[in-house]
Structure 1
Amino acid sequence: MAISSSPFTGSTKPRAFHMADTCYPVVEEGVFELDVFTYTTMIRGFYKIDMIHSAFKVFDEMCYAPNSITYNTLIHRFCKNSDIEGAQRIFDRIVKVGGQSYKSDVVTYTTLIDGYSKKGEFCEALECMKEMVKQGCHSNVLIYNALIEGLCLGENVYEAMKMMTRMRLNGLEDNVTTNTGIMKGFCIVGKSEEAIMHLKKMDVVSVLSNGKDGQKIILRTTMSPGGQF
């Protein structure tokens, strides 16, 4: 008779997951009866301690259909490792099984768009955004911030400014992260004076509240030639 409780749920500490890796064969023998949430917890935990092989072993051997958290965990891990192709493969799998147990949600699309943006693949990011809207998911500030940051890192700060305008026209309010990204973009292309002008339009206290990133931006702009308030 299977025992319904699981020794894996409730902890994501490395020691616990090394124990989980040791105990997993016991699960395969039917001593413990796991549900989709326990499988997902194990996958997330193995990823956190870089036990990638164990994470995929659990995923491949799941006795239940993966849910949104399972798929989003996999996509997030691929994107974090800059493996956007791997993330896209997981997304394609979601599309293939769509309508049965899971449909892509705003978290899925946000993670993919962020991954594409960080790699400078903006056409793919925008296509992903279009598909998201088509599927009934609405854009949010996180998505626009990901696009803006990616454009700025790719030295396309003026395109990033247009994206911020587009965000505002769609009824979303830019925040400290949005504007810090714009300022960083100006600094990257050597336009410190424009970064200062942008800063003057903002609440400096809010920028400083963005932590070390905001502080670095202010120092970089004020220490540049002509960088006087």
Structure 2
Amino acid sequence: MNPSYQLLLILISALEITFTKKLLPNLIIIIITILYLMYKNLPARTWWWILAAPIIPGLAILVTIGWFGSHNIMYAWILVSRIYVYILTGTAIVKTHSTLTLTRSLEQNLHLPPKYAYGVLAALNLIPKTIENVQKIKQAATMRGVILNYWSPQLYFKAILTAIHWSDELAQAMESHGFNEVQSRTVSHAIAVKTSDWWLLIGGLIILQLLLIFCPV
């Protein structure tokens, strides 16, 4: 399925689920997404994170609503199931398409401005360099007898100053390579929208409406 249309389907589904109070549609979506991720051979470590990480906020919701709030256990379970729906569906699109492919698809199919593509791609490419720079700042401070922890404001202030310097270098590099924010961006690989993408999007939304309307709980 086209990445843009898959993301659009997930966003619309998440928005509708947010404003409905039914548990069964959430469970059906969770089961379908789990089967899809099993088909995509999701690593065991990723399974552990997406299934174990929501346990803490889920328990907090159950305790808050079930014992100290409205005492509505069914509504508490609905909220917990929403957390798993959001995490699993988000993991599904990331597992299916790389972030770079998703960014290019959104730009081409939804006609987003070139600034969007440039900004996202620059941010993604600078993530490893930013992590490395933070480690260098901590090591340099340690050599001077100063301990910078991850909650130290000085650490982030120095990292922000470095990022500002990088932004100026990146702008000069883009201009020297002929990038122009007011011109349409050329692509090496066009991500086409097929008829099947439309059918999958419309069919998925229709199935979701049927679940939300006819499921008893």
TM bin, normalised by shorter chain, reads: under 0.3
The TM-score with structure 1 as length reference comes to 0.22
Taking CA–CA contacts closer than 8 Å with sequence separation of 6 or more, which of the two structures ends up with the larger relative contact order?
2
Q: Report the structure, 1 or 2, having the larger helix content.
A: 2
